Each structure stands twice: as structure tokens, then as C-alpha cells.
Amino acid sequence: MRRIIFAFIVLMLANLPAQAAFDGSHKQWDALLKQHVHWDKNGVASSVDYAGFAKDRTRLDLYLKSLSTVDKQEYSRWSLNEQQAFLINAYNAHTVQLILTRYPNLESIKDLGSLFSSPWKQEFFSLLGEKRSLDDLEHKLLRGDKRYREPRIHFAVNCASIGCPALRDEAYTGEKLAAQLEDQTIRFLRDNSRNRFYLKTGNYVVSRIFDWYQEDFDKYSKGVKSFLIQYADKTGMHPAEVSYLKQNTFSLDYFTYDWSLNKVR
């Protein structure tokens, strides 16, 4: 009888979910993204299969729990790139988690807030030993750490909206972070629905991101216009457009931001 009970216990333990230990390669999140995020035909915007994420909620929760096991002491031993990748992945994964709390009964992340409550200010997860909101993660941990000096993070964090830069179909890692941020930036700037230069008028109409976070571009890239000029050769523009931009006489304007959910349609 004891042998039967022992065998039953062993079988039960074998079928329990794996401990939510943190994996610096972010393999769990990477697998979910590869399965549920899809690039458009031009490779500049992506759509998210939230219904698929909902079916994979257990895997998502396990990944998020693994992030919460990291304490400040362990985090402090990582390279700056590893820290940034960790924070970007945490932001994007928790944003998906937030959307799933009401999906499919919402059309925008803003539906999760109210006149007096922002979805970005809700403290609904723990990270580095503290209760956090998405705003706290982005503005205090990512933007607030002066060591990072990296405006391209704004093309990596995703607010679950069509106006946002694309949610990438792979996890960010410390090893690949520089190349990933560069690729995200180029894809975003190539998207004519978010950034478009009009040669006849000399007007560059860009995403509101450049307006909202102008401070970061001023600090780390000599301003928004200098940043756009830096990437002019990489965004598929006509040589005449590139030449005009490099004269730095163009004007800036901003597209209306589209807060519609970036779901698969």
C-alpha cells in the first residue's frame, strides 16, 4: 500500500507545472511572441492574436511569475543591455496580460481606464520586489535610469495600440538588444501611416511619440530632427527626400495617434 501511495505522489509531482524560475534568454516569452504576433506584408507593423494569448494564459502567467522572482541584487549584476531587455519584455508582457483581463470586450487599452483612472497607473504586478504599474516601469525604471541613455526604447515598448511601434515577434535579449532596437526603429520610421515626409511642402509628419518624448531625443540624440536626419538613408526614402532632410530646413507636424487595439483583424 505504501508503494502505491508513493508512486501516486511521484506521479502527481511529475505533472505539476515547472517552477517559475527566471531564464535570461526569455525563451517562454519568445515562444509566445513567435506564435501570436504577426507582421504585416510590409514588415513595418504587427498585429496580435489576443485570442491565442488567452488560450496560452498559463504559459504567459508562468513567464510573468518568473520575472517577479528577480530581486534588485540579482538585477544589479546584469549588464545594462540585459537590464533594458528585461524591462522592455516585462512591459510588453504585462501589457498583454492587462488586455486579457477584458478581452474580447474592449476596443482600446483606454477602455481599461476611466476619467479618473489611467490603465497605465494601475499597480497590478510585482517587479524587482515592488508593486508596479506600467507607467512606473516605463518612466521610473526605463526612462528614469540615466545610465541607459537610449531613446530607441520608445520603438520597443508596446501599448497595445495601432499607433504604437510594432510589438516584435521575438523577445528582447541583452545579447541582441542593440540590433533589435535598430531594426525596430527602422521599421517604425518606414511606416508611412505613422511617419511621412512631404517633399513639396518640406513637412515631416511623424508619430506623436516624438512629441511626447521630445525630452529623451533632446538629451540623447541632439533633438528629434537630428534623430530623423540620422535615419533618413535607412528608411527607403527617395534620394531627393534624403537630401532635403539633411539640409535641416524641414518642418515637423504630428499624426493623430490611433489608440485602437492592435488585434488581428
45 close to 191: Cβ distance less than 8 angstroms: yes
The predicted pLDDT at position 84 comes to 97
pLDDT on residue 222: 95
| Each residue's pLDDT tens digit, 224-244 | 999 999 999 999 999 999 999
Task: Return the biggest CA–CA distance within the chain.
Answer: 87
Would the pLDDT of 12 be above 80? no
Percentage of the chain surpassing pLDDT 90? 89
pLDDT at 140 over 50: yes
Query: Hey, is 118 helix, strand or coil?
Result: coil
- What pLDDT, on a 0 to 100 scale, did the predictor assign at position 21? 86
The closest of 18, 56, 19, 22 to 36, measured between CA atoms, is 56
Predicted confidence (pLDDT) at residue 152 exceeds the cutoff of 60: yes
CA-to-CA distance for 132 and 117, rounded, in angstroms? 15
| Cβ(134)–Cβ(161) below 8 Å | no
For residue 146, pLDDT over 80 is answered with yes
Average pLDDT over all residues of the chain:
92
Q: Let me know: does 196 contact 135? Beta carbons within 8 Å.
A: no
Residue 9: predicted pLDDT: 36
Give per-residue pLDDT as tens, 89-103.
999 999 999 999 999
What pLDDT was estimated at residue 14? Answer: 41
How many secondary structure helices (H) and strands (E) does the chain include?
12, 7
Q: In what side-by-side order are the strands of the sheet with 203-206?
A: 196-198, 203-206, 251-254
Residue 19 pLDDT: 52
Q: What percent of the chain has pLDDT over 70?
A: 92
The neighbour count for residue 242, using CB atoms within 10 Å, is 16
Q: Give the relative orientation of helices 57-68 and 80-100 as an angle to the nearest 10 degrees.
A: 140
Question: What average pLDDT does the segment 170-189 reach?
Answer: 98
Can you tell me the distance from the alpha carbon of 78 to that of 172, in angstroms, rounded to the nearest whole number? Answer: 14
Asked if 169 and 183 touch (Cβ cutoff 8 Å), the reply is no
pLDDT of residue 67: 98
In this predicted structure, what is the pLDDT of residue 114? 80
Predicted local distance difference test score (pLDDT) of residue 223: 97
With b for 16 or more beta-carbon neighbours within 10 A and e for fewer, the 164-195 pattern comes to: bbbbbbebbbbeebeebbebbbbbbbbbeebb
38 with 46: CB under 8 angstroms?
yes
Q: Which three cell numbers stand for residue 32?
A: 509566445
Q: Where are the domains of the chain?
A: 16-254
Confidence of residue 128 (pLDDT cuts 50, 70, 90): very high
| Stronger pLDDT, 254 or 17, i.e. the higher one | 254
Query: What's the distance, Cα to Cα, between the start and end of the chain in Å?
Result: 57
Identify which has the larger pLDDT, 104 or 2: 104
pLDDT at 4 over 80: no
Of 34, 68, 48, 49, residue with least CA distance to 159: 48
Determine contact, residues 47/36, Cβ cutoff 8 Å. no
Q: What is the mean pLDDT of residues 174-200?
A: 97
Q: Which three cell numbers stand for residue 73?
A: 541584487
More confident residue, 13 or 210: 210
Is residue 137 over pLDDT 90? yes
Nearest Cα residue to 161 out of 61, 41, 50: 50
